Structure 1
Amino acid sequence: MNTGEFVADNVKAPMLTPGLSLWFRQLLAIFRIEFGKALISRRAFACYALAALPVLIFAIAAFELDEQGEPPFESIERARQIYGYIFSSLILGAVIFLGSASIFTTLFRGEILDRSIHYYLLTPVRREILVTAKFLAGLASAFVLFGLCTLICFLLLYLPFGMEQLISDITSGIAIQQLGLYLGITLLACMGYGSVFMATGLLFRNPLIPIMVVASWELIHFILPPALKVFSIIFYLKGLLPIPLDEGPLAVIVSPPPVWVSIVGMFGLSIVTVLGTIFLLKRLEVKYTDE
């Protein structure tokens, strides 16, 4: 008996018993792979550029002085209000939206375009585990990137007023409260938009068109009647802003939803779209010649 036959007869492959332990290990392994791909890849460069844009704007504003040598913000209250407008319009309305579209649509569509999705589909991994792991990896990478952007911009807001003002606001709790709300909104935005765009990337061969449709709908949400506003993600997110913002003379004034409704709504949307993605993946037929 040669060595190969001896090994074949005496060495047994480890038994993988289906269950929570195996599913958790599979989920963690896929999460690590996808998290690294989301943050360290050529496709991630666009997200880094988006996240750097508001940081650059706040950095310029923090170091810029007017003709009298004074900071551009009249007071810290005015600075907080300006931050709210920039967060709502730029960070939330553009950076997080486009960044989530870039990260989440490529979770499956990128694999199909790279002709590598079959490696996952041929492994003994439940589709539920695969979709959940990819979604959590996309959510974690998006929140790390855009949450860090939100944090840096918030700290740059205090730079013209000195460390004393920052310490005072932290001690009083207003800085912690507002920063916590902004980070919470960032997480919910990544969750809501991300789940929609993940399903979009799997459902449509060219996700650019549905992304433009969603962007147009979110852009005009302020003029929509109350019955249609409830179908807009940004409507629930703006209701959580610590400083209410004026959306202009054309806006249809509607009372913001309660905090618990906004939070439950984003979680509910994410669960429904993730389940929809699982349904689509189970019926996916990969034909690379069609891509």
Structure 2
Amino acid sequence: MLDSIQLRTFAAVVAEGSFDAAARLLHVTPSAVSQRIKALEETVGQVLVRRHRPCRPTEAGEPLLRLAGQFALLEREALTEAQQGLAGGGPGRTRLAAVVNADSLATWFPAALARVPDRLDLSFDIRQDDEEHTAELLRDGSVTAAVTAQREPVQGCRAQRLGAMRYHALAAPTLVERWFPDGATAAALATAPVIVFDRKDRTQHRFLRSVTRRELDPPVHYVPSVPAFSEAIRRGLGWGLVPEQIAAADLTRGTCVDIVPDRQVDVPLYWQHWRLESTALTALTVAVRAVAAETLH
């Protein structure tokens, strides 16, 4: 049998990134944390934690991390329901962890969080990662749900299509004059500087391949912030793909130009979450799907 205290300790080690930080969170000694993890590993017969900073679950530890999170969520909801009406309230807020791509966080996703009913008393723990990689945190049990580009459900999860984020290739008029006097030709795109969010972001390069049918390697500026990314484009540092919700204002004001107006990029997004009967998770899912239906293509 698995021990619930050991599971909770295991989840704390991964969430906090170290045995010492988990000990502070749980108000026990680091030695007690180490003993609990060792006992859990002896029960399972596998090493569950990669002991470096930050601590991460091993492949054997990932299903146990999901189990620990599911147990904590259902336990909190059961206590809340059982203690309704008691003086002092229930056990406190229910925490939901989700991972979301940067462009969704900067545009439509906060509206989904705001649409979750206040009466559920939820506390959100939102992580950020590239949509091609968000499912990894769902797979290892670090989060309950994810906005992801992965259509196939992670084991133990449900996947639902949300729609697609549409992107326009924008550049400042001064950059267009310098680099694209004859339009966005393959030769111009091969040499014009491009803004890329980070080293996980391959959206711009896929766009280049779809437009030119060639593998191009233009000069790249990495700008890992959505506001700074758009500002770098407005200031003529390079061209880049901007979400439609943000691009519309720049196109209207004339601060940016669509360098390939007949070609947009649609990135399909999916909502994946634990296959779990949870009031909190169901409410978040309903809100995310509703806002996505209003916002995405």
Q: Which has the higher helix share?
A: 1
Q: TM-score range by the shorter chain?
A: under 0.3
Higher relative contact order (CA 8 A, sep 6+): 1
Q: Which has the higher strand share?
A: 2
